[in-house]
Amino acid sequence: MTQFKHINIADTSQHLAEGSAKICDIRDETSFKNGHIEGAFHLTNQSMAQLINEVDFDQKVIVVCYHGHSSQGAAQYLISQGYEDVYSLDGGFTEWAKVQPYVTAK
């Protein structure tokens, strides 16, 4: 069985700049609204079908949580659903927010 991979903030930023990856944020709704990576898809149990409809199985997917732990289980789940190139962001949104820009709800 294929395994998810780990990815650091710098490589994630590069993939986003190139448009070569989709960010999936699995944090709770309030946290997501308070701040998330620009263009992130808020992945929940309720939005999984939407993700499958919108994101091709061969597209690079980077899963983000708070600290980079919960995203590992979610990344492996996406692999089990048929996604081929899935990553867990090391350090999660907490580390991202220290060094990279993000958006908040207006």
**Residues facing residue 17 across a β-bridge:** none
The owner of tokens 């308070």 is: 34
Residue of 51, 63, 64, 65 with catalytic role: 65
Q: How far apart are the first and last CA of the chain?
A: 42
24 is catalytic: no
Q: Are strands 5-7 and 41-42 parallel, antiparallel or unpaired?
A: unpaired
Active-site residue list? 65
